[in-house]
């Protein structure tokens, strides 16, 4: 049986996007091909940690948590071939699955809901980042052709982490969507696009949420709270 390195598994409610508030089991893989400067799970990306766990054991854990909905997150879960085995095992147990991904890696996963968070320019790690990660991140962070293939083959949402007070923040989102649509057979529906405030504390999140309200009214995009931050703070297992 195949296995995955896992930083954490837990039961909570979905805090973001279309399935906001849905009781969910979260399985967080460890490892990422990006290095976002504002990453809120560095233990699964910048400094990946956690044990290697068999797909069979992970599926059993999900069954024991008792939630129908399972969120596969990271890090970047699409990096790892055994994620396909985990999806199959979870689906065989009757679970509905959301895949949280940056949209830089293509896999076809029938009946999986793709929650795609393309990374904007302000995600770039600082110049002092060790190794070649700054260049690797910039070259990899946005892959419009891959995103287009994912949304053509799956139910999906696009979640953009934004700083609405910064000039051209929303224009960048619009330009990124336009780039994706060049590879699509149909336009991206406005209701599939969520604007999510960058921040790791409630005050920052709520301030930016208020700034985003008139922007959503103007653009037709949807507002995406980060419920887990407001309820629990920037903590693991939430």
Residue 125: CATH number of its domain? 3.20.20.70
Can you tell me the distance from the alpha carbon of 97 to that of 78, in angstroms, rounded to the nearest whole number?
13
* 131: in domain: yes
Tracing tokens 């896999």 back to the chain, one arrives at: 107
* 19: in domain: yes
Say yes or no to pLDDT of 238 above 80: no
Please state the rounded mean pLDDT for residues 182-208. 96
* Average pLDDT taken over every residue of the chain: 96
Task: Quick: pLDDT tens for 16-52.
Answer: 999 999 999 999 999 999 999 999 999 999 999 999 9
Can you tell me the distance from the alpha carbon of 238 to that of 14, in angstroms, rounded to the nearest whole number?
9
* 200: in domain: yes
* 204: in domain: yes
* 22: in domain: yes
Q: In the chain, how many domains are there?
A: 1
- pTM for this prediction: 0.96
Q: Domain containing 37: what range?
A: 3-232
* 237: in domain: no
* 238: in domain: no
């Amino acid at each position: 049986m195949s296995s995955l390195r896992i930083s954490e598994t837990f039961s909570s409610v979905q805090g973001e996007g279309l399935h906001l508030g849905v009781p969910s089991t979260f399985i967080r893989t460890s490892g990422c091909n990006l290095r976002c400067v504002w990453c809120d799970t560095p233990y699964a990306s910048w400094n990946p940690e956690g044990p290697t766990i068999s797909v069979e054991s992970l599926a059993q854990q999900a069954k024991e948590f008792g939630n129908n909905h399972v969120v596969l997150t990271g890090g970047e879960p699409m990096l790892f071939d055994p994620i396909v085995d985990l999806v199959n095992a979870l689906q065989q147990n009757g679970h509905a699955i959301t895949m949280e991904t940056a949209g830089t890696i293509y896999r076809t996963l029938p009946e999986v809901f793709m929650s795609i968070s393309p990374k904007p320019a302000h995600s770039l790690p600082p110049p002092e980042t060790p190794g070649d990660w700054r260049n690797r991140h910039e070259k990899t962070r946005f892959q419009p052709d891959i995103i287009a293939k994912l949304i053509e083959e799956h139910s999906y949402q696009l979640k953009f982490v934004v700083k609405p007070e910064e000039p051209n923040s929303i224009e960048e989102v619009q330009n990124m969507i336009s780039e994706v649509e060049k590879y699509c057979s149909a336009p991206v529906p406005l209701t599939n696009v969520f604007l999510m405030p960058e921040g790791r504390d409630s005050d920052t999140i709520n301030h930016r949420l208020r700034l985003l309200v008139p922007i959503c009214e103007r653009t037709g995009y949807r507002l995406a709270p980060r419920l887990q931050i407001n309820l629990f703070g920037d903590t693991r297992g939430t």
